[in-house]
Amino acid sequence: MTKRAAASFVIMNNEAHYRSLRQPTFMPNPKVSIIKGNNRYQNIADSLNLIKNEVQEQIQDKQNIIIKPNFLYDDKPNAATNVQAVKATIDFVQQFTNQQITIAEAPFSGTVEGAVKNFNYDKELADYNIKYLDLNEEPTEDIEVPVTENELAKLKIAKPILESDFRISVCPPKTHDTVILTLGIKNLIVGSIISKDATLGHNSRGEIHGGYYKTNKILFELLKIIPPNLTVIDAWQVMEGDGPSHGQMADMGLALASLDPAAVDSVMAYLMGFDPDDIGYLYFVGADCNPPLGTNQLDKIEIIGNIDLQLERKKFEPHPDYERQLGWRDGLSS
């Protein structure tokens, strides 16, 4: 068996094990809702309400709902998902389910317990029917995905993510030092990768960091296995420059939501002044959509809400290594 065939078998075998849980069906013209307003919580709530019927249809029979915030560090609030974004998301979701909701994350540095305390989740969500999981302390499943014709990436994925049947990625938009931007897709997928050093309070994510092409390709391949079912981007502020943890904060006052993770990430990238096709993992979605994983083509996305996409577009400062990050394209010819 060739390595490519072996990789396909590994992916199909894992999907057969876990995909008794229905995967999302991506529509050819997905909706992305965008709200601009003067209240962070209300922006999130209003953006979700614009796709209420679609979300209700997808979530109402689900038994294992996970919200994945961004707790990159447990002591850097500007790099983290604001609790108001998660609170608005929970309030919205609880219209359709009485299931306990899990908030799960694997911090790069620190613990979920530390983040919950430092970012006021413990106080703001004290009365909610939720539980917290530190994925760095949870069991994992070994997954192999193809990187090139002759290379497989071997990764440990947190079992709670694999076993969930509705995954919600709630995150701020930030520039990044490897993949240009970190948005909904990367938030969920990279936060599901666990490395051997995770229990020591530092999760290096294993093989995900193996060069610009490899990182983008792994994100794309894992999107086939653990896609976000709902993405909420809290663009009240964005991080520009030296993201994802040391950049500058810039006001935007937006909230975005969609059932199509590639579509909402592509729209957010455009609003920040970037071309979605320059972001490797979004490019792969557009280039290889069989079966469909969403769309990165703006002309195929239905924008709903209260903004004009062209008028709202800004030009945020990219990461200092932006030009080097574009080198992911070199892997296309390998």
What are the residues whose beta carbons fall under 8 Å from the beta carbon of 2, sequence distance 6 or more?
none
CA angle 254, 258, 263 (to 5 degrees): 95
* pLDDT value of residue 12: 47
pLDDT digits (tens, 9 = 90+) for 28-40: 789 999 999 999 9
What pLDDT sits at residue 19? 45
Kindly report, residue by residue over 132-144, the tens digit of the pLDDT.
999 999 999 999 9
Query: pLDDT class for 293, splitting at 50, 70, 90?
Result: confident
Give percent above pLDDT 90 in the chain.
Answer: 83
34: nearest Cα among 324, 323, 310: 310
Which whole number is the average pLDDT over 309-318? 97
pLDDT at 199 over 60: no
Q: Is it the case that residue 69 has pLDDT exceeding 70?
A: yes
Average pLDDT over the chain, rounded to whole? 91
Q: At what angle do helices 280-287 and 212-223 cross, to 10 degrees?
A: 50
- pLDDT for position 210: 83
CA–CA separation, 328 vs 82, rounded Å?
31
The whole-number average pLDDT for the span 84-107 is 98
The correct CATH number of 25-333 out of 1.10.3470.10, 3.40.50.2000, 3.40.50.11440, 3.40.50.720 is 3.40.50.11440
Higher pLDDT, 290 or 103: 103
> What are the backbone dihedrals phi and psi of residue 135, each rounded to the nearest 5 degrees, phi first?
-65, -20
Residue 6 has pLDDT above 80, yes or no: no
Tokens of 248: 């500058």
State residue 24's pLDDT score.
75
How far from 194 is each of 141, 197, 222, 231, CA to CA, in Å?
10, 8, 13, 22
Q: What is the pLDDT of residues 253-262, one digit of tens each?
A: 999 999 999 9
pLDDT tens track for 202-214: 556 767 778 999 9
CB-CB contact of 114 with 144 (8 Å): no
Share of the chain above pLDDT 70, in %: 89
Do 244 and 320 contact (CB within 8 A), yes or no?
no
pLDDT greater than 90 at residue 8: no
- pLDDT > 80? residue 197: no
How confident is the model over 229-240, as pLDDT tens digits? 999 999 999 999
Query: How far, in Å, CA of 85 to CA of 170, rounded?
Result: 7
Domain ranges of the chain: 25-333
Confidence tier at 200 by pLDDT (50, 70, 90): low
- Judged against a pLDDT cut of 90, whether residue 286 lies above it is answered with no
